Structure formats: structure tokens, C-alpha cells
């Protein structure tokens, strides 16, 4: 399903499946993609982060990966994925395991990894590979 994500601050991103299909203003994307579902978020919309340090401590690998998503990250560095169970939890959720850090970006045809942050920098929502995997209640 084609979805346009937009926030109070920043532009908008059109996502279809796991890919970004448009980046720009909300008006431009609504014109390009009439009938697309619209998700409005409070805060600032941008690319998801790469979690570069040790993964958060939690009782299970699944909860450690959830904590990464809750921070607005959709990728972790391989050096911090220290068990098969943790690698499996990352794979199940679509969290990328990277050999090196990379700058986050939202560009056409890239994987749809984006996050929304409030004015204090707290993550409100994380979209990983086009799927909404975290939303603050």
C-alpha cells in the first residue's frame, strides 16, 4: 500500500512496500500520488538512525532489538551483534546489520527506513523497510 508519511516539521516521504518512491513536500507528493494513505506525525520526520554502540541491555534478544527500534534506529553495527539469537531477532524485524557506519538518508528507491522525533529528540515512530515497527503511545 502506498503511504505518505509527513510530520509537523520537515517534508514528506512516499513509501510503497519496502521502498521510498518519493521525497518532497506534502503538496508535491499528494499531487504525484493521489489516493495514497496519509500518516501525519507530530515532530520531525527524517531518516532512521544507525545504532553505532552496544545494543541496549534487555532480558531477551527480541527486546534488545525492540529497544533499538524504539530509539529510531533500523540498523546496527555487526561488531555489536554478538550471538546467533541476536542476529536472528534483527533479521526477523528487518533491522540491518552493517559492517561499518553509514550516513542515514531518505532517497528515491532506497529502503524505506525513517523515523519521527519530538522536540526533545525522543522517537515517536520508526518505519523499518516500509513497516511501522515502533510507535510511541
Local structure of residue 112 (DSSP, 8 states): -
Give the model's pLDDT for residue 9.
Answer: 79
Q: What angle do CA 27, 131, 2 make, to 5 degrees?
A: 35
Per-residue buried b or exposed e for 63-86, using 16+ beta carbons within 10 Å of the residue's own CB: ebbbbbbbbbbbbbbeeebeeeeb
Q: Which residues of the chain have pLDDT under 70?
A: none
Every domain of the chain with CATH number 2.30.40.10 lies at: 2-47+105-135
Q: What CATH superfamily is the domain 2-47+105-135?
A: Urease, subunit C, domain 1 (2.30.40.10)
CA atoms of 96 and 129, how far apart (whole Å): 9
Give the model's pLDDT for residue 121.
Answer: 94
CA atoms of 61 and 108, how far apart (whole Å): 32
Give the model's pLDDT for residue 122.
Answer: 97
Contact (CB, 8 A) for 62 and 89: yes
Residue 56, C-alpha cell as written in the block: 541496549
Give the model's pLDDT for residue 94.
Answer: 97
Give the model's pLDDT for residue 52.
Answer: 96
| pLDDT, tens digit (0-9, with 9 covering 90-100), for 72-93 | 999 999 999 999 999 999 999 9
pTM, entire model: 0.93
Amino acid at each position: 500500500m502506498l503511504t505518505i508519511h509527513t510530520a509537523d516539521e520537515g517534508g514528506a516521504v512516499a513509501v510503497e512496500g519496502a521502498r521510498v518512491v518519493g521525497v518532497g513536500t506534502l503538496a508535491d507528493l499528494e499531487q504525484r500520488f493521489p489516493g495514497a494513505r496519509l500518516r501525519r506525525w507530530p515532530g520531525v520526520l527524517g531518516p532512521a538512525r544507525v545504532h553505532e554502540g552496544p545494543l541496549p541491555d534487555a532480558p531477551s534478544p527480541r527486546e534488545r532489538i525492540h529497544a533499538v527500534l524504539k530509539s529510531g534506529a533500523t540498523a546496527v553495527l555487526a561488531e555489536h551483534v554478538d550471538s546467533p539469537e541476536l542476529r536472528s531477532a534483527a533479521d526477523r524485524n528487518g533491522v540491518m546489520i552493517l559492517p561499518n557506519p553509514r550516513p542515514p538518508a531518505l532517497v528515491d528507491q532506497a529502503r524505506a527506513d525513517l523515523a519521527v522525533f519530538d522536540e526533545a529528540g525522543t522517537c515517536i515512530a520508526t518505519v523499518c523497510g516500509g513497516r511501522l515497527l515502533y510507535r510511541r503511545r
